[in-house]
Amino acid sequence: MPGAQSESCRARHPSRSAPFLRSENRLGRLTPIRYRLLMSDIHDTVVQMCVDARSAARQLATAPTASKNDALQRSAAGLRRASVTIMEANQRDIEAGRSAGLTDALLDRLTLTESRIDDVASGLEEIVALDDPVGETIERWRRPNGLNIAQVRIPIGVVGMIYESRPNVTADAAGLCLKSGNAVVLKGGKEAIHSNSAIAAVLTAAISEAGLPPACVQLIPTTEREAVKVLLQQSDSIDVIVPRGGPSLIEAITNESSIPVIQHYAGICHIYVDRDADLDMARRIAVNAKVQRPGVCNAMETLLVHQDVAADFLPAVANELSAAKVELRGCPRTQAIISDASAASEEDWRTEYLDLILSIRVVDDLEAAVEHISTYGTGHSDAIITDSYSSSQKFTTAVDSAAVYVNASTRFTDGFAFGFGAEIGISTNRLHARGPMGLRNLTTYKYIIEGSGQIR
């Protein structure tokens, strides 16, 4: 019975109830006995949330599109109404983040403004406008024996979402999972606990008002790492884990999880300026890809430039990047052209800066650029700037990344920019999903076979 385990948990430990999960807890102040009680309560709470999510997922899988859209519309309206409350909660997180020494890039990821909250609400409304993938027939065929076979989209079931820094993910993930018929258990990072809680409260209320089970969207209300460990072992209730964060988080989750994980280790994104490039276009794209929002995974980290245009291109782009306070690190040929560029090390080519730092390499030709990307890239997003059709085709064929661009910024690798409404994550996996994960990536399929008495 839903809630029974949580009630028994409170009965065993009457001094501990829901507030024990608050971020203000400091384990160092607990006696060994109270520490064990706390860990036990966290375990029981997370397990019950997963059980409840499985039950909610069964109901949501058959929910009509109109009900799901109603919940999304109510959520969007609720976020706008609660913007002041959400920003007040967000300010608590920002102040704590500054005290903890978060970088400017991470603080930018964390920050919610009225405009950003409106963007999150707009993303939910865009999901409403998208076709519901559940029940869609992917393919249909008739066998010689008269059997009619249809491959039909169905929800995956229950998604476990583990993420850092960005509170907008709370709404994005909830909205996409809701529309695709999946329940989701959310575990945000400690740096955004107040923001995530405020957003989740709005979403849960809207879902309940729309007549859907509120347990289809749940936020684990603790910052303790024990909650993640417990979540990763709930293979009976959770079907897939989607982590969003730094490489160390992804690696730890992949190593500890008993549940399949959709991975995105890093976004070391490249832009290659070909010898046939429009150099003014290349300059604008490179500056946008590095400067517009440097702390996100689709920002450019390495600029590759064909040797034939380096002398003309690099001084102009370097001036604009330096004016934007970008630190430049370059190969010896780059340093010969940009005198104030520091030397790039081997480690620089392998680094996702997520900051106003850029590595630059002058390459002999397109093949050398592709070789560099193949060696140091992470399969996220890479671009070529060129007016040559043959060069663009060679690049898009040879570069094996989730998103490969011709004459456009890598900053467009994003669910909203791709027309998905939002994304639950950007996958660099090869199986199931790749790139921004929208509604269809949150479905699997089953076969429905109709016969007329056939036997084998």
- pLDDT tens profile 349-407: 999 998 999 999 999 999 999 999 999 999 999 999 999 999 999 999 999 999 999 99
pLDDT band at 249 (very low <50, low <70, confident <90, very high): confident
Specify the pLDDT at position 39.
Answer: 78
Q: Give the span between the Cα atoms of 319 and 326, in whole angstroms.
A: 10
Q: Give the span between the Cα atoms of 416 and 402, in whole angstroms.
A: 16
The answer to whether 412 touches 285, Cβ cutoff 8 Å, is no
Mean pLDDT of 4-23: 37
pLDDT band at 251 (very low <50, low <70, confident <90, very high): confident
Topology match between the domains 4-256 and 269-416 = no
Specify the pLDDT at position 130.
Answer: 93
Q: Give the span between the Cα atoms of 21 and 202, in whole angstroms.
A: 19
Sign of the C-alpha dihedral computed for residues 245, 249, 254 and 260 taken in this order: negative
The answer to whether 303 touches 337, Cβ cutoff 8 Å, is no
User: Looking at 168-182, 206-220, 243-257, 425-439, which range is the least confident one?
Assistant: 425-439
Closest by Cα among 426, 354, 437, 417 to 108: 354
Closest by Cα among 288, 182, 175, 191 to 245: 191
Specify the pLDDT at position 164.
Answer: 84
Which is more confidently placed, 16 or 143?
Answer: 143
CATH fold for domain 4-256 = Aldehyde Dehydrogenase; Chain A, domain 1 (3.40.605)
Sign of the C-alpha dihedral computed for residues 9, 11, 12 and 13 taken in this order: positive
Q: Give the span between the Cα atoms of 17 and 11, in whole angstroms.
A: 9
pLDDT at 298 over 60: yes
In this structure, what is the dihedral angle of CA atoms 4, 233, 18, 197, given to the nearest 10 degrees? Answer: -120
CATH fold for domain 269-416 = Aldehyde Dehydrogenase; Chain A, domain 2 (3.40.309)
| The length of the chain, given as a count of residues | 456
Sign of the C-alpha dihedral computed for residues 308, 311, 316 and 320 taken in this order: positive
The answer to whether 411 touches 404, Cβ cutoff 8 Å, is no
Whether pTM exceeds 0.75: yes
Question: Pairing relation of β-strands 148-155 and 443-450?
Answer: antiparallel
User: Looking at 24-28, 72-76, 245-249, 438-442, which range is the least confident one?
Assistant: 24-28
The answer to whether 212 touches 57, Cβ cutoff 8 Å, is no
pLDDT band at 420 (very low <50, low <70, confident <90, very high): confident
The answer to whether 379 touches 428, Cβ cutoff 8 Å, is yes
Specify the pLDDT at position 421.
Answer: 66
Specify the pLDDT at position 103.
Answer: 85
H or E segment and range at residue 142: strand 137-142
pLDDT band at 37 (very low <50, low <70, confident <90, very high): low
Return the domain boundaries, the chain: 4-256, 269-416
The answer to whether 269 touches 299, Cβ cutoff 8 Å, is yes
pLDDT band at 7 (very low <50, low <70, confident <90, very high): very low
pLDDT band at 33 (very low <50, low <70, confident <90, very high): low
Strand order in the sheet with 148-155: 137-142, 148-155, 443-450
Strands (E), 318-455: 327-330, 342-343, 357-363, 381-385, 403-406, 426-427, 435-436, 443-450
Half-sphere exposure of 358 (CA within 13 A, CB side): 32
The residues, ordered by sequence, that sit 6+ positions from 419 with a Cβ below 8 Å of its Cβ are none
